[in-house]
Amino acid sequence: MIAAVLLVLDAAASALAVVTGLSRAPVGVLGDLMLVEVGLLAILGGFLEFSKSKSAYEFRRLAFAEEEEFSSAKHREASRRAVAFFSAALLLFSFLIVLALLE
């Protein structure tokens, strides 16, 4: 879902760049946008995964004196949410590879 929405937005942005005269190569704009989004999705997925890890809980306990305990159930839920972002990044990256091969 995330990848499909981003792919449609990228295609619209690259078409807009061609129509407005900002770029003559819509494939180049599309590839650049997709590359940035792949990086951001991977970083966001990693942040979601790490935010509920045992290391993050230990850091918050030591640095901020929080009393919240580590929960493996919360960590599993964060991992499930992060998988959506990693999957979207992987899907967009595969489209980017195909796009590069077609050029």
Q: Output the tens digit of pLDDT for each of the chain's 103 residues.
A: 778 888 888 888 888 888 888 777 777 888 888 888 899 999 999 998 888 888 888 888 888 887 878 888 888 888 888 899 999 999 989 988 988 888 7
pLDDT at 94: 92
- C-alpha distance from residue 54 to each of 15, 43, 50, 63 (Å): 45, 19, 8, 14
Give the chain's domain count: 1
> Residue 74 burial by CB count (10 A; 0-12/13-18/19+): exposed, middle or buried?
middle
Domain that holds residue 15: 2-102
Task: Give the predicted TM-score (pTM) of the model.
Answer: 0.75
In this predicted structure, what is the pLDDT of residue 38?
A: 92
End-to-end alpha-carbon separation of the chain, Å? 26
